Every structure is written in structure tokens, then in C-alpha cells.
Structure 1
Amino acid sequence: MAAVTGAPTDLQAHRDSIRLREDRLVYELREILGAKLVAYLGSVKETRAVRQWADGERKPSAEVMQRLRDAYHVAALLHQHETAPVVQAWFMGMNPQLDDVPPARLLREGRLEDAGPAVLATARAFAAAG
């Protein structure tokens, strides 16, 4: 991910989550989280769908794409500070700030207007704690 000199990492992650083309965003998210976790977030059973999204052969629904954009924002922010395996573990693990619900589950099953901001706030706290 290309960073803007002097821009806070959260702001850059936000900008990229909005500006990246759908296929590129899915590709980048898959690079950080892995195909299985992206498939889970996208509510599909096969990683083939994730590959097709990343290759531009198929498009996710608007709701799924918004969930993936939210997930990318969080993943990109965390990946500025942590390795991909740590980011993956953070997404899948129980989180005390989210009532022990894994962030991936909340992003997949929660109301879009609530889940994204809650997971992002938790990610910001995790990144700030180092």
C-alpha cells in the first residue's frame, strides 16, 4: 500500500478503502487476511469467489462490498503496525472491547452502520497500544 508522506496511517487506510477499485481492494485485502477470511467476511463458501472478485471476473453485492471496504480500512490500518498473521489473528480472535465477539464476525453479521465504526475504534485502540 502506498503511503502519503506525513499522512496519518488511519487517514491513508481510509482514503484507500474508498478510492481503490473493487477488484484491487479485494486483492489487497486477500493479501493481508488470506482468501478464507475474506470469503468469510464476504459471506461466500468458496475462496473461488474471492479470486473472481480480485480478478474482476465477478462483483460482490453492494452490501458485501461495503463490508469488505470496512474490513480493508481496519486491516490496512493494523497492517501498518503488525504482520499479516497478527492482523489475521486479531480479526478472528475474541475481542474484549467487542464483548468477546471476533471483529470478523461482527463485520460479517452486524449492522453495517454499527459494526464498521465499532471494529475500527477497537483497531485504533489496538494500534495505539502498540
Structure 2
Amino acid sequence: MAYLGRVTSTRQVAEWASGETKLSADKLDRLRTAYFIAGLLREREGSATVQSWFKGMNPQLDDVAPAQLLREEPIDTAGPAVVAAARAFAFIG
């Protein structure tokens, strides 16, 4: 969550969870997209596979890891691309 939320400390994640600090709209969109994708994949795969999918090179994403795209690229372009790759993985394999 810290990686996708573009923070270096898990302390900030704890502050988000407790309501002490609010997420920016951009960070919230990135985390919501990742949560949606995780749920989609979890319907068909185990948690270890889902975790590996986020971290592994993905041929549909030019061999970039989905988590890296969600962190580094604009969410309006990265989000749809990563969702499409997740759907392809979940439904085609």
C-alpha cells in the first residue's frame, strides 16, 4: 500500500487508516484501482498469485510490473491499462 500510495513510510499508511491524515485524490484513485484489480484477480486466483501478478513483469504492459505502472504513470492512463491486463489474466490466463 505504501508503494502504490507513493510514500516511503508505512507510518503514513497507518495515519491514512486511522483517519489522522487524508489521502490526496490521486493516491486514493491509485489505491482504489489496485483494490479493484486485487478483488478481480482474487475471485479466480490465490492471494500469492495475486501478489506475484502485481510485482511481476507483464507482457501486456510492455514487461513492466502492474504495481510500478500504478505508482509511476498517470492514473488515467495506467489504471485502464492495468485493469485490462488483469482481466486478460483472470479470464484468459
TM-score (norm 2): 0.92
RCO comparison, higher one (Cα < 8 Å, 6+) = 2
Instruction: Tell me the distance in 2 between the aligned counterparts of 1:107 and 1:122.
Output: 12
- Where in structure 1 do 4 or more consecutive aligned residues deviate above 6 Å? none
Q: Please give the per-residue CA displacement for 1:3-55, whole angstroms capped at 9, x wherever unaligned.
A: xxxxxxxxxxxxxxxxxxxxxxxxxxxxxxxxxxx100001111121122122
- AA aligned to 1:77 is L
Q: Which residue of 2 aligns with 1:106?
A: 69
Superposition RMSD in Å: 1.1
Q: CA deviation at 1:125?
A: 0.5
TM-score (norm 1): 0.67
Choose from 17, 20, 32 the match for 1:57. Answer: 20
Choose from 74, 82, 86 the match for 2:49. Answer: 86
When the two structures are aligned, how many residues end up with a matched partner? 93
Q: Percent identity?
A: 59
Q: Please give the per-residue CA displacement for 1:60-117, whole angstroms capped at 9, x wherever unaligned.
A: 1111111111111111111111122211110010001100000001011111111000
Task: Name stretches of at least 5 consecutive residues in structure 2 with no aligned partner.
Answer: none
- AA aligned to 2:25 is A
